[in-house]
C-alpha cells in the first residue's frame, strides 16, 4: 500500500485545502477542533429560559398576593380582625379553595374527551339512545358566588354508531361545572360540547340541583333542618331530535330520568 501516494492525493484534492474540515481526521473532533455546539449559545439559551420561568413565577406570585389582599379587604369590610388567630391565613386558604372550585377554566371538553370516540357497530342503523345518569356535580353560581350542586343526566342518540366513552361525560360535566355558572348555562355548555364532539342525532341534558342559599333559607322557614323538594331546580336542554316533544325517544328519556330522580 503506497502511503506516500495517498498523502499526495489528499494534499492535491481541492476540497481538502486549509480551512476545510472534510479532509481532517474525524477522531480529532472534540480535542483540537471546535465543539459541535457553542457552549456560550447554550448557556445563553438556558439562562433565557430560566429568566422566563422566574418572571412567570413572579407574575403568578404577584397575582396570588393581590387576590389575598382583596379577600383580606373584604373581611375587614365585614368587621373581621384579619390579624387574629384563625383568620390570619384565611385569605390564602380561600384563594386556594377558589382556584380549585374554578379549575375548569384551565381545561376543555375536547382535551378530556381525547380520542375516546368509537364506532359501535351494534348501534349503527339502529335508533338506540345512550343514557348516562346520576353524574354528581358541584358548581359556583355566577350571580352570587354561592355553591349549587346536584346531578346531571345526559342522553344522546348516536349517529351511525358513533359513541364516546361513558366515563368521559362525568369529566365533561366537571370541566363546565368548575366555572362560574348557572344551571341553564351549565346544561347548554354540556349539550353544546357533546353536540360538537360526538355529532349525535340528538342530545338531552337534564340538571336537577339545589342552591345552597335557597336550601338554608328553606330550612330556616320550615324549622325542620331538612330542605324540601321545593328548593330543587330542574333545567332541561334539548337539541336535535329531542326538540320534538312528541318523539318516542324524547318521551322515553324524560320519563326514565323522572323515575331515576324520584
For residue 111, pLDDT over 80 is answered with yes
- pLDDT tier at 222, thresholds 50, 70, 90: low
The pTM score is: 0.73
d(CA 32, CA 17): 18
d(CA 88, CA 77): 15
State the pLDDT at residue 143.
Answer: 93
* CB distance 242 to 204 below 8 Å: yes
For residue 43, pLDDT over 70 is answered with no
The Cα-based distances of 132 to 6, 109, 135 in angstroms read: 80, 17, 8
Of 54-63, 130-139, 149-158, the range with the lowest mean pLDDT is 54-63
**Mean of the per-residue pLDDT values of the chain:** 80
Give the three cell numbers for residue 179. Answer: 366555572
| 114-128 tens-digit pLDDT | 888 888 776 666 778
d(CA 72, CA 53): 28
Taking alpha carbons only, the member of 261, 215, 208 closest to residue 234 is 208
| 81-100 tens-digit pLDDT | 999 999 999 999 999 999 99
* CB distance 201 to 195 below 8 Å: no
Taking alpha carbons only, the member of 201, 192, 214, 182 closest to residue 248 is 201
How much of the chain exceeds pLDDT 90, in percent? 49
Give the three cell numbers for residue 98. Answer: 377558589
Whose cell is 355553591? That residue is 147
Question: 147: which strand partners?
Answer: 140
For residue 178, pLDDT over 50 is answered with yes
State the pLDDT at residue 27.
Answer: 39
Amino acid at each position: 500500500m503506497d502511503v506516500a501516494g495517498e498523502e499526495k492525493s489528499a494534499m492535491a484534492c481541492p476540497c481538502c485545502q486549509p480551512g476545510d474540515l472534510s479532509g481532517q481526521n474525524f477522531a480529532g473532533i472534540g480535542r483540537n477542533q471546535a465543539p459541535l455546539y457553542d457552549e456560550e449559545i447554550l448557556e445563553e439559551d438556558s439562562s433565557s429560559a430560566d429568566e422566563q420561568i422566574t418572571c412567570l413565577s413572579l407574575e403568578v406570585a404577584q397575582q396570588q398576593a393581590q387576590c389575598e389582599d382583596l379577600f383580606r379587604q373584604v373581611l375587614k369590610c365585614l368587621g373581621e380582625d384579619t390579624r387574629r388567630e384563625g383568620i390570619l391565613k384565611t385569605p390564602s386558604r380561600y384563594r386556594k379553595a377558589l382556584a380549585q372550585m374554578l379549575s375548569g377554566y384551565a381545561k376543555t371538553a375536547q382535551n378530556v374527551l381525547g380520542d375516546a370516540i368509537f364506532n359501535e357497530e351494534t348501534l349503527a342503523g339502529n335508533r338506540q339512545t345512550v343514557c348516562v345518569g346520576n353524574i354528581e356535580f358541584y358548581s359556583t353560581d355566577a350571580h352570587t358566588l354561592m355553591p349549587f350542586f346536584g346531578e346531571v343526566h345526559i342522553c344522546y342518540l348516536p349517529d351511525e354508531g358513533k359513541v364516546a366513552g361513558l366515563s368521559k361525560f362525568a369529566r365533561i360535566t366537571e370541566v363546565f361545572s368548575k366555572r362560574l355558572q348557572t344551571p341553564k348555562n351549565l346544561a347548554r355548555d354540556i349539550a353544546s360540547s357533546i353536540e360538537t364532539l360526538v355529532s349525535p342525532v340528538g342530545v338531552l341534558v337534564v340538571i336537577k340541583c339545589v342552591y345552597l342559599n335557597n336550601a338554608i333559607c328553606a330550612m330556616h322557614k320550615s324549622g325542620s333542618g331538612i330542605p324540601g323538594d321545593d328548593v330543587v331546580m330542574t333545567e332541561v336542554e334539548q337539541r336535535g331530535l329531542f326538540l320534538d316533544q312528541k318523539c318516542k325517544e324524547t318521551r322515553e328519556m324524560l320519563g326514565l330520568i323522572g323515575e331515576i330522580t324520584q
